[in-house]
Amino acid sequence: MATIKELSKREDLLSGGHRLCAGCGASIAVRQVLLGANAPVVAGSATGCLEVSTTAFPFTAWKTPFIHNAFENAAATISGVEAAYQALKRKGKIDKDVKFVAFGGDGGTYDIGLQSLSGAMERGHDMVYVCYDNEAYMNTGIQRSGATPFGAATTTSPAGKVRAGKPQQRKDLTQVIAAHNIPYVAQASVSHWKDLIEKAEKAFAVEGPAFLNVLAPCPRGWRIKSDETIEIAKIAVQTGFWPLYEVEDGEWKLNFKPKELKPIVDFLKPQGRFAHLFKPGNEHLLEEYQEQVNKNWAQLKKRCGVE
Amino acid sequence: MAKAATKLNAPAKKPKVKAITVAMTGNAGCALAMKQINPDVVAAYPITPQTTIVEEFATYVANGAVDTEYVNVESEHSAMSACIGASAAGARVMTTTSSQGLALMWEELSIASAMRLPIVMHNVNRALSGPINIHCDHSDSMGARDMGWVQMFGETAQEAYDNTIIAIRVAEHEKVLLPVMIMHDGFITSHAIDRFDVLEDDVVKKFVGEYEPKQALLNIDDPKTFGPFAMPAYYFEQRRQLREALDGAKDIVLKVSKEYGKLTGRSYGLFEEYRLDDAHIAIVVMGSTAGTAKYVVDQARAKGIKVGLLKLRLFRPFPAAEIAEALSHLKAVAVMDRADSIGALGGPVYMEVKAALYNSKKRPHVQGYVYGLGGRDTGPDQIETVIDDLKKIARGTEAPREQVTFLGVKG
Ligand SMILES: Cc1ncc(C[n+]2csc(CCOP(=O)(O)OP(=O)(O)O)c2C)c(N)n1
Ligand code: SF4
Ligand SMILES: [Mg+2]
């Protein structure tokens, strides 16, 4: 891992002046991941907040070659770029070592882009796929996705008289991708920058596909203040809501092991999207929430061989 | 105006290069052309009746006959997505599909053309579902007619082979830089073994040359953003540029085809005129049915009926002015479409031919026919009824029909 001094000398490949909201987790995730590449890199992005806010023609915030194609195909698109690189390298038309990374929101990754991602991972392209997970379709106005957690109110899973936000649990995508048996899979958070950049370095270093799922809070959608992004991401890790772990060549490793998890309400309470869970009569939902987190945490510890 | 047509009855010129006569299916011919082109990247997904192209190409890859990076994607959407990524990266890229596969790519087709990526794709014509049907009609490629792609239709395996090689040069021409879709008829041309001439590998290699894009993702030292977000202040101009590029592709198709003709002795234009000069009536048709129609035209000519044929090769860009010039001297024209434009006046070719003639001082009556949907056989008998109709209209013994006529449909 590069030292902070070394990192400070690396060029930021996503410049400021983009149009993401203040406090947006997405650009933090992207900049940290790109610091980990430390080599020429071609980046791509799915349609979503990141893409529309960084490429408004005739401007671009990308200082590295960048391609946006559509919503569900960032993985397939970058897999094509990587295939071109392999072919042109073989033909001697290019001699540099180049890295490839695709970014997608949770909608573009867990939902509409899952097939494209699964295919690219299975084919073994030498690329990194990064999901910046803000737990809803933010670009189109905070609609629920497969990554939206239980109980979160979104514009398509609002809290009402008979519904308490999203009725389903979120999909565990990191484990789904781990089941592809690719060289490197990890879950990270913008709050733990050292862990995230280390994981990005590993992801770029392995030969073959790597996947990073990065928690990237959205102040707009989570109903928090724009200076609370990092804090809430940290609490997500400390409560066991978003464990930090990695799967390296099939070896599961928990990267953050608190003696005791903070209660899940510490994560839920500060966020407006969960406000309805704290109304009288919904106590059982909070209990259910805690039980689910405990169960997931116990399962993950078992997989990682941690007691 | 450039001389648009080639006449089949004009004697074939002597080729400059050696011709190797083969007997193979149209799909095998396309796969062979792909092997000879040796593209950098092929990303494709199987679907009948195109599958044998990707299978044969996979065999070339497995035997080391090509240097291609062959991406076995998990869907046609990803096939076109990967092609877009690879082409933007700076590679020469080809793919192939049919019907539902093309439909699944639909979202990506307009992105490929808007990014001005010279991807060359075979679409082996097959009817769109539903009901699901694997046989030929042109409904798949017609659904993609407004997507900014050059679209060329071939009648025979020979044309499918030749068009593949020509398409590379058209797509990559700096005045075009657009994707090209090449069609031939599913099963009829794709799976029937035909006798035709192919070129030696080196000749093809030399003809297509090297692809050297000016802008590419892999020009690492000159970073560019591909596929940005364009608001109303910029989108419209970009679309106009796309139209201008596609309109301009007409001249490039002619130019490249002429060069290819000098080499091989096989010349192609925007369309082929068959016994049209002194004709009073004529049929316009695309694809393999043109072969059957030429036979019927010959028979009618033997009986003294002055009928001709225009076989359209280039559908996009549509050579409207050239077609108007070729047909305006006629009394009646039948346009045969192997696709319906449901809810519109008639089939797509019919509407465009009719529109092309509207502003001509002298113009024939144009009557539309839809034939052969879902692989329904179109024999000489059906085309004879078309000629009978045209004769009556030309003589004035029958009023022209405004609505489209279905040929060979039951009940
Ligand atoms: C095929 C298709 N369906 C729907 C959309 C509309 N759309 C654009 S972005 C988006 C949501 C993006 O959500 P996510 O991937 O989570 O990224 P975020 O905006 O949250 O960063 C949707 C639904 C689209 N562009 N394309
Ligand atoms: S809406 Fe959320 S995800 Fe989108 S730019 Fe704003 S903070 Fe970022
Ligand atoms: Mg999102």
Distance from the CA of A144 to the center of ligand 1, in angstroms? 11
Residues with Cβ within 8 Å of A31's Cβ and at least 6 positions away in sequence, in order, are: A12, A13, A14
Strand partners, A178: none
Residue A48 CA: which ligand is closest? 1
CA atoms of B402 and A142, how far apart (whole Å): 52
CA atoms of A262 and A241, how far apart (whole Å): 10
Calculate how close chain A gets to B225, using CA atoms only, in Å.
5
Type of residue at B1: M
B230 neighbourhood in chain A, CB within 8 Å: 56-57
Question: Across the interface, do B43 and A80 touch by the CB < 8 Å criterion?
Answer: yes
pLDDT score recorded for residue B8? 45
Confidence of residue B2 (pLDDT cuts 50, 70, 90): very low
pLDDT digits (tens, 9 = 90+) for A75-128: 999 999 999 999 999 999 999 999 999 999 999 999 999 999 999 999 999 999
Question: Across the interface, do A80 and B84 touch by the CB < 8 Å criterion?
Answer: yes
Give the residue-averaged pLDDT of A1-28. 93
Mean pLDDT over each residue of chain B, to the nearest integer: 96
pLDDT at A265 > cutoff 80: yes
* pTM of the complete model: 0.97
With CA atoms as reference, the chain A residue closest to B39 would be: A87
Give the residue-averaged pLDDT of A239-255. 98
pLDDT at B5 > cutoff 80: no
pLDDT score recorded for residue A135? 98
* DSSP code, position A157: B
Domains B11-264 and B271-406 share a fold: yes
Distance from the CA of A218 to the center of ligand 2, in angstroms? 5
Closest CA to B371 of B335, B332, B403, B318: B335
Q: Contact, B151 vs B23, CB < 8 A? A: no
pLDDT digits (tens, 9 = 90+) for A159-205: 999 999 999 999 999 999 999 999 999 999 999 999 999 999 999 99
Q: Is residue A145 in contact with ligand 1, taking CB distance under 6 Å? A: yes
Closest CA to B225 of A91, A219, A101, A57: A57
pLDDT at B411 > cutoff 90: no
Which two three-digit tokens encode residue B128?
Answer: 């769109």
pLDDT at B3 > cutoff 60: no
CA atoms of B12 and A298, how far apart (whole Å): 79
pLDDT at A138 > cutoff 70: yes
Locate the domains of chain B by residue range.
11-264, 271-406
Which CATH topology does B11-264 take? Rossmann fold (3.40.50)
Which two three-digit tokens encode residue A198?
Answer: 């280390």
- Per CATH, the number for B271-406 is 3.40.50.920
The CATH number of domain A4-303, selected from 3.40.50.720, 1.25.40.340, 3.40.50.970, 2.30.110.10: 3.40.50.970
Cα Rg, chain B, nearest whole Å: 21
A108 neighbourhood in chain B, CB within 8 Å: none
pLDDT score recorded for residue A303? 97
Locate the domains of chain A by residue range.
4-303
Confidence of residue A249 (pLDDT cuts 50, 70, 90): very high
Confidence of residue A1 (pLDDT cuts 50, 70, 90): confident
Confidence of residue B399 (pLDDT cuts 50, 70, 90): confident
Backbone angles phi, psi at A211, to 5 degrees: -130, 130
**Nearest by CB to A70, which of B40, B108, B226?**
B108
**Nearest by CB to A83, which of B43, B219, B228?**
B43
Which two three-digit tokens encode residue A188?
Answer: 């990270």
Distance from the CA of A221 to the center of ligand 2, in angstroms? 7
Which two three-digit tokens encode residue A228?
Answer: 């609370």
pLDDT score recorded for residue B11? 53
CA atoms of B330 and B315, how far apart (whole Å): 21
**Residue A260 exposure: Cα atoms within 13 Å on the Cβ side:** 2
pLDDT digits (tens, 9 = 90+) for A56-75: 999 999 999 999 999 999 99
